[in-house]
Structure 1
Amino acid sequence: MTTSQPPKPTAAELEMLRILWQLGPSTAKQVHQTAVETRPEMAYATVLRLLQVMHTKGILTRDESQRAHVYAPAQEQDSTQTGLIRDLIQKAFAGSGKALVLAALRGHVTDKEREEIQSILDREK
């Protein structure tokens, strides 16, 4: 028997997931308060609706034991990110992880990050 994975989150849903990964299980009000720090135009109703849709899709769990429902990601951050990377490698890089890494290194990595990556690679030898 196979377990089905939740659908891939949209860009807006990923924004909500990033907030929940940062805060931990939270109410819609807490998620909204954090979201408006970077997106002041984000309405509470929009955040609540996104969280409800994400729960329906299986991306979030919801604790309904209290008056204010508490939302949490259904999967760990690493698991979600690994799935997204796997899809990106297949779709944009013809299945080549090397091509993905080289594209990232070509302008999306600071010198300090490059040194850290090299250190990790050296330890793995």
Structure 2
Amino acid sequence: MRLAERRTLYVATNMDCSDMRLAVVARMLSTRAVRTVCAKEALWEALAVEGQADGGATPAAEVQRNYFASLVEQEVAARAHTFVGSKYSTWTDTVRGMRLAAGKPASAHHLFEELWALGVK
């Protein structure tokens, strides 16, 4: 796939997808023809905990749902063409390890804080 065809950014985050900060980033990227996808709610629906179909999730079910959603998002990030993680994140460390084990080049792994310091905005 050519670089020009890579125009989708999947956002894996523990924030609510409707968070204003994500909306600002999405709006900024849309001016560069980059579409952002934050599918956390859809993923949570797909991972509905058995016995919780009425939407009333217990705190334990909530933790389980978040855990499984995180695993799915780690797999998406591990398979992505490029990955931008956070410097102080064990989640990022796990994804980077998965990507290296899969033979992804180190040049396809970036840290948000390093890109920001370089002026990439």
TM-score, normalization by structure 2: 0.32
Structure 1 or 2, whichever has the larger Rg, is 1
Specify which structure has the higher proportion of helix: 1
TM-score, normalization by structure 1: 0.31
